[in-house]
Each structure stands twice: as C-alpha cells, then as structure tokens.
Amino acid sequence: MTATLSGFCGITNPMESHDRCAKADCPCIHHRMTAAPAPDPLAGVVDAVDRLGKALPGLMAECTDPAGTDLAELFVTMLEARKALQALERDTEVACAKAMLDDVAETPTLRIERRRGTERKAWDHAGWQRDVRAKALQAHGLKGAQGVITATGEVIDGAELYDVLQAVQDAHGAGAPKTTALRAFGLDARDYCDSSPGAWTVRVTRMADETDKGGAA
C-alpha cells in the first residue's frame, strides 16, 4: 500500500508544519531530504564489542547461580555471535582475495597479502616413506654401506639401517608428511598425493602512522 502525506505535509505547507509530522513513512520531499542516514553496520559491530568489553565485568557479577548456568548462557550467546561473525569474515576474506589483482597490495595505511594453500589427499604413504629412508641414508653418507660397527665392536649389515628407519616410520604411523621436510630431501609432495588448489587466505596489516613515530625535532 502506498504511503500518503500527513495533514502537516501538504505541498504548500511551511517548513514548520512539516517538522510537526510524526509519520515514520511520510513520503513528502521534506522528509526524504532530511531523513537520517542508515547506521553503519560494521561500525555498530565494533562499537558493540567495545561496549560489551566494558560491561562484561558487571554482567558476570550479576550471574549468581551456584551451578554457573547463567554464566554458561552468557558464554554460549557470545560464542554463537562469534561463530556468525566468523562466517561473515570468511566470506569477506574470500571476496577480498578474488578481487585482488596481485598477491601483494599496499595503501598508505594497509599491507595486504594473498595466499592460496594446496589441498593434498590420497597419499602414497609407502612411497614417500620408502624414498625418505633412501634419501636419509644418502644424506648421511650411509647409502650402500657394507656394515656398521657398534660400540661393542659388532658389525651390523648396512642393509639393516634401512630396516631400522622403516621400524621408526612404522611406529610413527602414516600421517601426511611435512612438505618442507620432503623438499629438504629433494622430493616433491605432488609425486605422492592428489593435489588441488586450497582455500584463499588474506593477511592485512595496518601500517604504522609515520606521524606517530617520535616527537618534534
């Protein structure tokens, strides 16, 4: 239904008459030109967090249930709000990453860095563990060694070193290896798993204000 003018807001009415109108949806030009701007929702969130921080000691002091259930209600309400904000934050982060032209951008006040990880699955654990054993022996000059002399003078066949390393790996389990550790042995993680582009991440750092660094000369 279309809103109608109030009796105070006729087109020929003086400005003082318009000011007396209390209709929330009055469509007259005076009210449309003087309407207050919509509040900034992001500024509202920042302000709400600040006000909550100041009010929190008092809110907790009002929680007197011996079982702590009122504190739990306060806690879970804050937790739910944080989770909702995190979801909005993640959506904004992804949008920011996709909007960037380069992986690094700067403004006078911000430094923005974009990264994209790698999703790795379906690891060939037996394969990378085998190659790491061989590379570890090679790195320490023990690959192809004929034997190792123990502290008691006993000679152990060099091939047993390989079995020792395998026993250590078997005890550790078959979790995904560190890709940096594989690279240190000259191995590429992509040779042992299915790789695909991962999630975008954006790091934003506020630059220090040069005017705040030190006093007058």
Per-residue pLDDT tens over the stretch 198-215: 999 999 999 875 444 444
Helix boundaries (H) for the chain: 15-19, 29-34, 41-61, 69-99, 125-139, 159-172, 179-184
Within a domain: 217: no
What Å distances lie between residue 46 and 50, 51, 53, 56, 76, CA to CA? 6, 9, 11, 15, 20
- Are 123 and 192 in contact by the 8 Å Cβ rule? The answer is yes
Within a domain: 105: no
In percent, the amount of the chain with pLDDT more than 70 equals: 82
Within a domain: 180: yes
Confidence of residue 8 (pLDDT cuts 50, 70, 90): confident
What was the pLDDT predicted at 36? 60
Distance CA 112, CA 143 (A): 47
- Are 202 and 90 in contact by the 8 Å Cβ rule? The answer is no
Domain that holds residue 186: 123-192
- pLDDT (mean) for 185-208: 93
Give residue-wise pLDDT tens across range 28-71.
Answer: 766 666 666 667 888 889 999 999 999 999 999 999 999 999 99
pLDDT value at 127 more than 90: yes
pTM above 0.75, yes or no: no
Residue from 186, 173, 193, 203 nearest 112 by CA:
203
Within a domain: 8: yes
Work out the number of other CB atoms within 10 angstroms of the CB of residue 117.
10
- Are 133 and 104 in contact by the 8 Å Cβ rule? The answer is no
Within a domain: 62: no
Within a domain: 72: no
What Å distances lie between residue 189 and 42, 119, 175, 177, CA to CA? 42, 11, 13, 8
DSSP state of 104: E
Q: How many CA atoms lie within 13 A of 216 on its CB side?
A: 0
pLDDT value at 13 more than 50: yes
Q: How many CA atoms lie within 13 A of 193 on its CB side?
A: 21
Backbone phi, psi, residue 188, to 5°: -110, 125
Q: How many domains does the chain fold into?
A: 2
Within a domain: 55: no
Average pLDDT over the chain, rounded to an integer: 84
Distance CA 69, CA 77 (A): 12
